[in-house]
Amino acid sequence: MAATLGVLLILVFTRLSPDVVFMTGLGALLVCGVLDPKAALAGFSAPGMITVGFLYVVVTGLQETGSLAWVSQRVLGFPKGIRAAQLRLLMSVMGLSAFLNNTPVVAMFIPVVTEWSRRIAISSSKLLIPLSYASIFGGICTMIGTSTNLVVDTMMQTRFHNKGLGMFEITKLGLPCALFGVAYVLLAGKRLLPERKPAETVFENPLEYTLELEVSEKSPFIGNSIEKSGLRRLPGAFIAELIRGDQVISAVSPEEILRQGDRLVFVGNIETVRVLYTQQGLRPAPGQLFKLDSPRHQRLLVEAVVSHNCPLVGKTIREGRFRNLYNAVVIAVARNGERLRGKIDDLQRNGARQGAS
């Protein structure tokens, strides 16, 4: 009891991370002999913890294949405000959590929401807490929504001779509570939830890069306008040109309808370039980006600085033979804080920053 109280006080009155506090408390109980090694380590072999650990491996696989980006784009969409974003997130997660255990749902959606928040330019701290609450709201609507409900159902079956909870028996109580919780998060969340900028935003490189992507054959963008496709208000990037056959459209209207084979020239920072690679329906334009559409674990995006005494200074990108010598391709060049326009292979290096893959 004293150890539990001590852990709670440390969590409340210090800034130590919870994992450090809990592990220290566990170690203290082990050293003092309150727990034997078998009991102390039993929690690490719990099926729930192992399941969540495996789930993060699955989530990483989904990230590598771009599936999470598809979920983010199709289900969550492109809301124009914090409340609209929170509403979409709350209802989507609540619906899933009513029929799936809430812990895996949260684990699956953490990378989705993080990527989504970056794309819609809303702080992830405004969305991750609603994500957790939404899973709880959905969990109280059905018998299988949370582990707690299943434990209670098991206890009832034991006590009342196999008479447990029905699938939707608690819905008449849980659903009103869930809707009240959603309303509270929407009304109070904008004011109470912190707005923390991620480290990559605080130290974001203001230099701009160009990137050319092509609308693929089965792209969901075909037949939709640039505005409807969500490609107009990307944070840190914009469409500079649209190349359609031999026609180059410099001032691209947001109402421009996309067609198969259209080439979109984006201008943005290096972080936004990474986000654009995950967009389903867009692929690196052939001829400009060499093997950039290979699986992510087989490639690496690097930003390099060409020093003034580099032997390649004064030569073009083509003369540098990046593909043959380094198995790499230069996708963008910036010099003196400004991006360089023109065909990348013919650009001359002169102490410039480069993005290579």
User: Would you kindly state where each structural domain of the chain is located, as residue ranges?
Assistant: 2-44, 48-199, 204-356
One-letter amino acid at 124 equals: S
Within the chain, how many helices (H) and strands (E) appear? 13, 9
Bridging pattern class, strands 330-335 and 302-305: unpaired
**Residue 235 burial (CB < 10 Å; 0-12/13-18/19+)?**
middle
Closest by Cα among 298, 282, 301, 199 to 242: 282
Tens digit of pLDDT per residue, the chain (357 long)?
A: 788 888 888 888 888 888 888 888 888 888 888 888 888 777 677 555 665 567 667 666 766 776 666 666 677 888 888 899 999 999 988 988 888 777 778 877 888 888 788 778 888 889 999 999 999 999 899 887 777 787 787 778 778 776 777 888 899 999 999 999 999 999 998 888 887 765 444 444 444 567 788 888 888 889 989 888 888 777 777 787 888 887 878 667 888 899 998 988 887 776 676 777 777 788 877 655 434 444 444 456 677 788 777 887 888 877 877 767 776 767 677 776 565 655 555 555 554 445 544
For 229, phi and psi rounded to 5 degrees?
-75, -10
Closest by Cα among 316, 324, 307 to 340: 316
DSSP at 280: T
One-letter amino acid at 108 equals: M
CATH architecture, domain 204-356:
2-Layer Sandwich (3.30)
Q: Check: pTM over 0.85? Answer yes or no.
A: no
Rounded CA gap, 313 and 348, in Å?
A: 8
> What tokens does 293 get?
């559409």
